[in-house]
Chain A
């Protein structure tokens, strides 16, 4: 955490507040108390503990990957995760999509006045725990408090630096005709977990978000010698948007088969009920990989040895010809274009 006054031996007794006050962001004693009690304890590591305005560390050798993302999910707690763990997984996964091993994170909190201290603490602990289980330290951070109504409970930004310990060029331009398209698991769980909670929908079993880090299976594929051409995580607007972006960036036609794309039955039912398409719903622990067809079995074997990608499957291929577009073979056998979703998915009337 950035601290201009690193002395915490305050002679005035700590006043316990149950809720965040504007003063907690004011740079004074209350803010120091907050940082000390809520953030430093769970996050503590030598770089952060140095309590400087910026983190100082020696970069390891190799190409670096750098990414940033902001997290504004509502509700902040959902089955399978919360905004804290999500803000680690999302950024770690963005690094993983370059085949990078995450080496450090920053995190910045924007907190709404009035948020309960207990809630903030739960989020901070969850974030710290997620970072620890990914083996990546949070080395710098920031806290701001805004007036009630100026933000929705809590917003978090995390940035991440990763190191690429390989010589592959993993990018949309690396996609080649004939590549197999692998999907790391079933679709739509994060989006539907959040949506079901918002809409108060209940199913036979609770839909849990798929929020999880995916860097380990990616690094293992590289380690195993899989010549990955491109990776993309399937966050906002899901598989449809990711495939369309990559078709456009690579200038190639991609074809997938509807019957090969795994969707959990509860997610499927929830999507039917709300008029949404699982292919356009957000995921937070799923990615697609473009791999030379000859290596796809090897890649699938590696992916399936990790819990997060245990249900990895090949869902299609990159076509040898055709305009840049995404084609989907329906269960009935017809081939149509899989369009880019036009914006946020709105629930249909009937």
Chain B
């Protein structure tokens, strides 16, 4: 049984941003930490919340936060973006995508540019909207850009099942789904790894549950606290991780108990499993990780846009000066990159961690303080 945090549940927005409660948690963390602990929050949403509230400053120096590869937009490899640009440029095709993929640069521009040049690129919030588009536009092909972690994959799976049941043949997917636990395992297996504890992404565990993390915590003797996204969630998650570290424990705990159950969402998991299978995947900034992605099962290959449209293979051409790989592995902070805020900005991003608003570099840039706005040389 994975232990859940005890005490009253926190329910809505403002109460998770309560200043007095936050200050109390910060004091408790400072009090409990006998040394500097390096923790990694996995999700870009968590990074964003930390930077927005300035939690990293409040917790310094006893907590060093490094920022994990949990932004699905960031880690989508450039060759997949190039495939998207290729498809979206084709006449007779509607290319449906989550909004924040539109400004992610491929080797030749982004989806916004393709749209401006006449490509039919449409923003959707849910893959089912793309299925609806396919029904409403029978003479056009509709391709959904299917990216994301375990959070978005169930809805994509549902879209595929619905399209199959309705006999829709003009709907397909450009799939680039990735999975969190293999990434954590890869980071921990790195001999240079400095991460001593993880804040796992609460919404991923709401779907998948937490049992996958138990063998990882055991093997590497590392605390993994399944944490939410509001300032108090994060501070509470950090306190739980520090408490474990100080006691020399390394186990899975749930901070985000108002949403996450140990076994997750069985219906969503089974839907995902029926449509997707695990495959090796390439992560922007991290490279190839075995069994870390999802691909369509053979019986759904008719929905595979790569096969349907005979897409060519593109190469990944990330700029050599970009250190996003080091940042995603927790070995560098964004401000330690000489390009940060200089040659690399949200308008002209060089690599993974700046391309999406939720990337670590983008969060640092957006919420920078007057002193972090100046790039600092590498140590």
A347 and B358 within 8 A (CB):
no
Q: Are B347 and A342 in contact (CB under 8 A)?
A: yes
Within 8 A of A (CB), among B21-67: 22, 43-45, 51-55, 57-58
A346 pairs with B100, CB closer than 8 A: yes
Q: Which of A296-350 contact B (CB under 8 A)?
A: 322-323, 325, 327, 330-337, 339, 342-343, 346-350
The one of A332, A336, A348, A349 in contact with B368, judged by C-beta atoms closer than 8 angstroms, is A336
Instruction: For chain A, residues 184 to 203, give those with C-beta under 8 angstroms from any C-beta of chain B.
Output: 199
**6 A-B pairs with least C-beta separation:** A334-B54, A347-B99, A346-B99, A349-B98, A332-B53, A336-B367
Closest to B18 in A: A331
**Contact of A54 with B by CB under 8 A:** no
Task: Tell me how many residues of B have a C-beta within 8 Å of chain A.
Answer: 42
| Residue from the set B13, B148, B203, B366 with the largest chain A CB neighbour count within 10 Å | B366
Known: A332-B231, A349-B98, A349-B147. A199 touches B125 (CB 8 A): yes
B151 touches A330 (CB 8 A): no
On chain A, the number of residues with a Cβ less than 8 Å from chain B's Cβ atoms is 26
Within 8 A of A (CB), among B89-118: 98-103
Interchain CA distance A331-B45 in the complex, whole Å: 18
Residues of chain A within 8 A (CB-CB) of B119 are none
Q: How far is the CB of B203 from chain A (nearest CB, A)?
A: 7
Query: Which residues of A are interface residues toward B (Cβ below 8 A)?
Result: 199, 268-269, 272, 274-275, 322-323, 325, 327, 330-337, 339, 342-343, 346-350
**A348-B231 contact in complex given A269-B13, A332-B58, A336-B368, C-beta closer than 8 Å:** no
> Residues of A contacting B151 with CB < 8 Å?
350
Contact with A along B117-152 (1 / 0, CB 8 A): 000000101000000000000000000000111011
Complex interface: chain B residues within 8 A of A346 (CB) = 99-100, 102-103, 123, 357
Q: In the complex, given contacts A337-B368, A339-B365, A347-B99, what are 13 additional A-B residue pairs having Cβ atoms less than 8 angstroms apart?
A: A272-B13, A323-B370, A330-B53, A334-B58, A336-B369, A337-B369, A346-B123, A349-B72, A349-B101, A349-B148, A350-B148, A350-B151, A350-B203
Q: How far is the CA of A272 from the CA of B14 in the complex (A)?
A: 12
Residue contact B57 to A347, C-beta cutoff 8 Å: no
| Given contacts A272-B13, A331-B17, A332-B55, A349 and B367 within 8 Å (CB-CB) | no
Residues of chain B contacted by A336 (CB below 8 angstroms): 51-52, 54, 367-369
Query: Once bound together, how far apart are the Cα atoms of A331 and B368, in whole Å?
Result: 16
- CB B12 to nearest CB in A, in angstroms, measures 9
| Contact yes or no, B57 A339, CB < 8 A | no
Q: Which residues of B contact A348 (CB under 8 A)?
A: 98-100, 357-358
Q: Compute how far the CA of A15 lies from the CA of B373 in the bound complex, rounded to whole angstroms.
A: 66
User: B366 and A339: CB pair below 8 A?
Assistant: yes
CA distance in complex: A268, B17 (Å): 13
Query: With a CB–CB cut-off of 8 A, which chain A residues contact B13?
Result: 268-269, 272
Q: Please indicate the chain B residues that have their CB under 8 angstroms from the CB of A339 in the complex.
A: 365-368
Chain A residues with Cβ below 8 Å from B22 are 332
**C-alpha spacing A325/B58, complex, angstroms:** 23
Within 8 Å CB of A343, what residues of B? 103, 347
Return chain B residues, CB-CB under 8 Å to A333: 19, 54, 58
Would you call B73 an interface residue if the criterion is a C-beta within 8 Å of the partner chain's C-beta atoms?
yes
A337 contact from B58, B102, B373, Cβ within 8 A: B373
Complex contacts, B100 vs chain A, CB 8 Å: 275, 346-349
Chain B residues near A327 (CB, 8 Å)?
370
Residue B346 at the A interface, CB < 8 A? yes
On whether A332 and B19 interact (CB within 8 A), knowing A337-B367, A349-B98, A350-B45, the answer reads yes
Contact of A335 among B72, B366, B369, B373 (CB under 8 A): B369
Chain A contacts of B52 at CB under 8 A? 330, 336
Q: Return the CB mask of B139-168 against A: 1 if under 8 Å, else 0.
A: 000000001110110000000000000000
Q: In the assembled complex, how far is the CB of residue B356 from the closest CB belonging to chain A, in whole angstroms?
A: 8
Q: How far is the CA of A343 from the CA of B100 in the complex (A)?
A: 12
In the complex, which residues of chain B have a beta carbon less than 8 angstroms from the beta carbon of A334? Answer: 53-54, 57-58, 369
In the complex, chain B residues whose CB is within 8 Å of the CB of A269: 13
When chains A and B are docked, how far (Å) is the Cα of A285 from the Cα of B123?
28
Closest B-chain residue to A273, C-beta based? B125
A275 to chain B, nearest CB (A): 8
16 residue pairs of the A-B complex, CB under 8 angstroms, read: A325-B370, A327-B370, A331-B53, A332-B17, A332-B53, A334-B58, A335-B370, A337-B373, A339-B365, A339-B368, A343-B103, A347-B98, A347-B123, A349-B98, A350-B44, A350-B149
Complex: A322 Cα to B373 Cα, angstroms? 13
Question: Known contacts A332-B58, A342-B346; is A349 also within 8 Å of B19 by CB?
Answer: no
Distance, CA A333 to CA B57, complexed state (A): 10
Q: CA A336 – CA B367 in complex, angstroms?
A: 6
Q: Which residues does chain A contribute within 8 Å of B102, judged by CB atoms?
A: 346
Question: Per-residue 0/1 for B334-369: is the Cβ within 8 Å of any A Cβ (1 yes, 0 no)?
Answer: 000000000000110000000001100000011111
CB distance from B180 to the nearest CB of A (A): 12
Nearest B-chain residue to A259, judged by Cβ = B19
Please report the C-alpha to C-alpha distance between residue A310 and residue B73 in the assembled complex, in whole angstroms: 42
- Which residue in chain A gives the minimum CB-CB distance to B103? A346
> Within the assembled complex, what's the spacing in Å between the Cα atoms of A272 and B149?
20
Give chain A residues whose Cβ lies under 8 Å from the Cβ of B45. 350
Distance in Å: Cβ of B359 to nearest Cβ of chain A: 11
Q: How far is the CA of A334 from the CA of B99 in the complex (A)?
A: 30
User: Are B125 and A347 in contact, with the CB atoms below 8 A?
Assistant: yes
Contacts of A325 in B (CB 8 A): 370
